Structure formats: C-alpha cells, structure tokens
Amino acid sequence: MGRRRRCRWVGYRPVAQFYKPRGVPLSSLEQVRLTVGEFEAMRLSDLKGLHQEEAARRMRVSRQTFGRILNEAHRKVAECFVEGKALSIEGGNYAIMQRNLECSDCGFAWEIPIEFPLPSCCPECGSPIIRTGDKS
Ligand SMILES: [Zn+2]
C-alpha cells in the first residue's frame, strides 16, 4: 500500500498554471512542477506577508511542515529562473477552502473559495442580503 500524501488546504486556485522562458519552444524545455500547496505557501508568506505560524495555521500544517513546503517552493522557482526551465503549477493533494453562503430571502445556498470577495447579491433572486456560514 502506497503512502498517502497529506492534503493541503489552500484558499485560492492559481490563476496562471504555466510559465516559460520567452522564445524557447516548449518541446526543448525542461519543466518543473510546483504543487498547488507549494504555490499557496508562497502566496501566503511571500505575497501576503503572513508570519509562518499564521500561514501554517491557514494551511492546517505544522510550522515546520510549512517551512519545508515554502523552502521547496523557493527552490523550484529559483531552479526555473536560474536554469531557464518552464514552471507548471498543478497537482499535489489539495482542497480549496470554501465559504458557505445562503440568501436570506430565497434560501438559495452556494459556496465560493474562501478568499473570493463576497458577492453583492444572490445569484438566484438578486437579493442583496446574504448570510455566511463560515466554519473556521
Ligand atoms: Zn436569493
């Protein structure tokens, strides 16, 4: 039985999933794969500037595990920049944290990724009154 990889909780799905050096055909490039969990670690720590304790809590991993994920992400991105490789962002075991929404008028319920902005109205009836049922 293979070892099951731990699931990483992320708040965001990567917008772009592929980067490559300009002017080099893909067929002649080596590719490095960044997992969605590693991408999330960089997003929380490098872009949003969260302390590692807080970023680790959001991804529901230990501080040590978070540091390891972040180091691996940095190493992979550096490898691409330095050695001119293509970078893809995909895969790994991950779950996108959802926020549960419910319309107070018609009762329509739906989910959005937790870091998406709250909608201004219900997609079903157009009511501006929306309840959130966040489970933290
Ligand atoms: Zn509604």
**Which residue(s) pair with 98 in the sheet?**
113
pLDDT the model gives residue 75: 98
* C-alpha 102 – ligand 1 centre gap (Å): 8
Mean pLDDT (the chain, rounded): 89
**Which residue(s) pair with 8 in the sheet?**
94
pLDDT the model gives residue 6: 75
* C-alpha 127 – ligand 1 centre gap (Å): 5
Measured at the CA of 11, the angle between CA 6 and CA 15, to 5 degrees, comes to 105
Which DSSP helix (H) or strand (E) runs through 110?
A: strand 109-113
* C-alpha 128 – ligand 1 centre gap (Å): 8
CA-to-CA distance for 106 and 92, rounded, in angstroms?
A: 38
Domain chopping of the chain, boundaries? 8-95, 98-132
* C-alpha 9 – ligand 1 centre gap (Å): 29
Q: To the nearest whole percent, how much of the chain has pLDDT over 70?
A: 94
CA-to-CA distance for 25 and 2, rounded, in angstroms?
A: 36
**Site of tokens 């330095």:** 82
Q: What is the value of pTM for the model shown?
A: 0.75
Whether residue 30 is predicted with pLDDT greater than 70 in this model: the reply is yes
Across 31-50, average pLDDT: 95
* C-alpha 120 – ligand 1 centre gap (Å): 11
